[in-house]
A and B are shown apart, each in its own frame.
Chain A
Amino acid sequence: MSGSVEVQRRFDHAGMGEEATRRRRRGGEEDDEEEEDEDERGMEAWERAYADERSWEDLQEDESGLLRPIDTKTLVHAQYRRRLLQKSAASAASRIQKGLIRYLYLVVDLSRAASETDYRPSRMVAVAKCAEAFIREFFDQNPLSHIGLVTIKDGVAHRLTDIGGSPESQIKALMGKLECSGDASLQNALELIHGYLSQIPSYGHREVLILYSARNTCDPGDIMETIKNCKNAKIRCSVIGLSAEIFICKHLCEETGGSYTVALDESHFKELLLEHAPPPPAIAEYAAANLIKMGFPQRGAEGVIAICSCHKDVKIGGGYTCPRCKARVCELPAECRICGLTLVSSPHLARSYHHLFPVTPFNEVSSVVPFKLSQKLAQTCYGCQQSLLSHGSKPAPHVSCPKCNQRFCLDCDIYIHESLHNCPGCESHRGSTT
């Protein structure tokens, strides 16, 4: 139904052309509401309420056929557990190492397809918003890694930013260049990145993450050749599609060891994107183990005036001094502009350790049978002291740590594994500490 309305509206626009847009512009100044109406693919207000909220999706049938709201908490938890177990199973199967020092190029497709409005307000804006969150999360989880941005537009790939370590400058560059037109070209993007990534040191993990809106690729040559080159250069290519599964993307990811996923909607897209933030399992021969020379600079004393090498500006106090060439840099981690030494501080290294020593997944406690036994043990979550009894004396679903046998509520379970990376039970018992 909304389709026919849309056709009608489009027809109107074509017919009235100039006048309609002029009228709209004038109206927009007075009434933002009206402007929005036009943007929302010409849906009526009542239609939009249903399309946006999708209230029926929050309902499910129970065993007796009654409609009930979905218990989102247990659903979210089940989803999270699946992911966690998958992750731990993968790392247990073969002692997989993590690629902690990553050089990643994020490719944003700004072709004509990115202006589609199936994501609100458009694919391009939705992608940019998620990309911002991703870049922040990426640097939070991989403080020693680098990211660069590439856009595809009008059939050519363009490097937006040099590969670097500062999230702010990357985000700023991306937000300033949000215009879309023309066709997408996978090959051009890969060729461009291949050229840049072949220069990085051998210990780094080379990765490309493509956020692909288009359903086609407009290439100047044989893309199979390019994919082969990427494979030889040990570049791990991953694609997140916004429209439909495309063979060439799948082929690219399979060949280079990346992952190919297609998003269903905006929240799913964000989820898929953020899955790329933790370091991927390292493929043994992809990056040679190496000793990297690093400097651990001390913070400069307050009140000392120095010229920093990164902004070429006079700064008072703060800053760090490169231990090799004594140049001043403003923030860590960075690469010394003068001598090229990697400058880090010890917390940056410590931030990555939790990837190497993850908390063991907790076991779900079947809430029916053995609770009577355990009732003497604990009725509250060990972490947050929340009661584990839900209504009355019925036990709520909870989990227990296999090492220290303490019980935790579902919220603490998620917090412990996703953010804290410590088991409070194990940490507060001497002997079981790692």
Chain B
Amino acid sequence: MNAASAPSKLYSDDVSLIVVLLDANPFFWASSAAAAGDSASSHHPTTTLPFSKLLNHVIPLLNSLLLLNQLNQVVLVATGVNSCGYIYDSGDGGGGSACGSVPAICSEILRRLEEFVVKDRLQGKSPDKVVATGVSSLLSGSLSLALCYIQRVFRSRARHPQPRILCLQGSPDGPEQYVAVMNAIFSAQRSMIPIDSCVMGVQHSAFLQQASYITGGVYLKPQQLDGLFQYLSAVFATDLQSRNFLQLPKPAGVDFRASCFCHKKTIDMGYVCSVCLSIFCKHHKKCSTCGSDFSQGPTDANASSDRKRKTSEVQP
């Protein structure tokens, strides 16, 4: 069973593989840009920034990660609304023509990102229109891609760089992804891959709080997005060895309480169906998700007619 997790942990000293998951959700960044315009006029501290400004912070981060160690590897994955995709891989085509020169990398990233955004939009157009407000990005998809990539690095060499994942997330969590995101988190935990997260949205991300807590990564929600690069380089740029010597942001109190399926209330105590592990806040006669009968005595548990259940409501 654990054949899939990394068999040997022979890390090269100080060499890191950083997979950066960049949230490229147009709905979020559009609203963010609009809000930034408003706040600039009313002299509020900037808590939002537009996507182009974000790239001004992120691309220098990628470059500085590469500069920290010659052997460091950076992979950029874009998290879109309708798709996810690899944007840039510093280990890819190492002998390329303009590889290593900073302007070449920048233009490469910008070009691929533009292609991605256009493709992402086109994919969203074909099915029924999605509602524009509060659309979440496909975090589960990009996390899965990142983990697959890291497994490949584990396989390829006996001594491999120490991997970590950095999520730059803006858009709110998508409750329908809960199970998939949790699966990815547990898989990262098994392979000892920390998931760092930097949340630029208005609210905290419960998914990423849990991800960082469970995998031993750093969770950060910057106060001032103007100085984002400062945060990124101070907190997320250092390799895992050096982290032991730094005063990094303390893990925030993560709320591991569950919310019930029936009223979506956060509960301290509740009832859990022994068959499908659905959570209820009070005793029911019948499980609303798997249809099991909870009357006394041995019951015909096969009566579950509908095993498809909404996995979305498990959100804590």
Contacts and interface: CB of A to CB of B under 8 A. Distances in A.
Interface in B43-92: 81-86, 89, 92
Q: Which 10 A-B pairs have the closest CB atoms?
A: A428-B141, A383-B148, A289-B292, A428-B84, A384-B152, A203-B274, A345-B256, A323-B268, A424-B144, A427-B141
Interface in B293-309: 293-294, 297-302, 304, 307
Contacts of B298: 202, 285, 288
Given A97-B304, A100-B277, A296-B267, A383 B5 contact: no
B273 A411 contact: no
Interface in B144-159: 144-145, 147-149, 151-152, 155
B243 interface: no
A424 B83 CA distance: 10
Contact of B268 (A101, A288, A295): A295
A13 interface: no
A420 B144 contact: yes
B301 A349 contact: no
Of the listed residues A288, A356, A421, the one surrounded by the most CB atoms of chain B closer than 10 A to its CB is A288
Interface stretch (B107-115, B165-173, B175-183, B233-241): B175-183
B9 interface: no
Contact of B89 (A289, A356, A385, A419): A385
B149 A434 contact: no
A294 interface: yes
A431 interface: yes
A200 B27 CA distance: 52
Nearest to A348: B256
A284 B275 CA distance: 10
B205 interface: no
A262 to B, nearest CB: 20
A241 interface: no
A298 B4 CA distance: 33
A291 interface: yes
Of the listed residues A274, A349, A352, the one surrounded by the most CB atoms of chain B closer than 10 A to its CB is A349
A293 B300 CA distance: 21
Given A284-B300, A424-B141, A352 B277 contact: yes
A385 B124 CA distance: 24
A412 B271 contact: no
B256 A296 contact: yes
A87 interface: no
Nearest to B287: A289
B280 interface: yes
B314 interface: yes
Nearest to A285: B298
A416 to B, nearest CB: 7
Contacts of A434: 176, 179-180, 311
A421 B187 contact: yes
Given A95-B307, A291-B274, A433-B177, A350 B314 contact: yes
Contacts of B222: none
B253 interface: yes
A430 B149 CA distance: 21
Given A293-B269, A345-B258, 8 more contacts: A289-B287, A291-B287, A341-B269, A351-B182, A383-B145, A415-B151, A419-B187, A420-B184
Contacts of B191: 419
A14 interface: no
Given A140-B190, A384-B151, A422 B180 contact: yes
A414 B307 CA distance: 26
Contacts of B299: 288-289
Contacts of B262: none
B83 A100 contact: no
A423 B300 CA distance: 33
A344 B279 CA distance: 12
A288 B297 contact: yes
Contacts of A141: 1
B118 interface: no
A418 interface: yes
Contacts of A324: 269
Contact of B148 (A289, A350, A384, A433): A384
A306 B289 CA distance: 39
A429 B123 contact: yes
B202 to A, nearest CB: 22
30 contacts: A94-B302, A97-B290, A100-B277, A141-B1, A274-B1, A282-B275, A284-B301, A289-B292, A291-B294, A292-B272, A294-B272, A296-B257, A346-B257, A347-B256, A349-B314, A350-B179, A350-B314, A351-B182, A351-B186, A385-B92, A386-B152, A411-B151, A415-B147, A415-B151, A419-B191, A422-B183, A428-B138, A428-B141, A430-B123, A431-B82
A321 to B, nearest CB: 10
Contacts of A284: 300-302
Interface string B97-124: 0000000000000000000000000011
A414 B140 CA distance: 18
Contacts of A415: 4, 147-148, 151
A284 B300 CA distance: 6
B246 interface: no
Contact of A291 (B83, B271, B314): B271
A212 to B, nearest CB: 22
A310 interface: no
B138 A433 contact: yes
A232 interface: no
Contacts of B179: 350, 353-354, 357, 434
Given A296-B268, A430-B82, A353 B314 contact: yes
Contacts of A282: 275, 301
Nearest to B120: A430
A55 interface: no
A411 B272 contact: no
Contacts of A345: 256-258
A95 B304 contact: yes
Contacts of B253: 299, 301
Nearest to B142: A428
Contacts of B301: 97, 282, 284-285, 287-289
A303 B293 CA distance: 45
Contacts of B83: 428-430
Contacts of B149: 383-385
A430 B277 contact: no
A80 B274 CA distance: 30
B157 to A, nearest CB: 14
A289 B152 CA distance: 42
B193 to A, nearest CB: 11
A280 interface: no
A277 interface: yes
Contacts of A137: 1-2
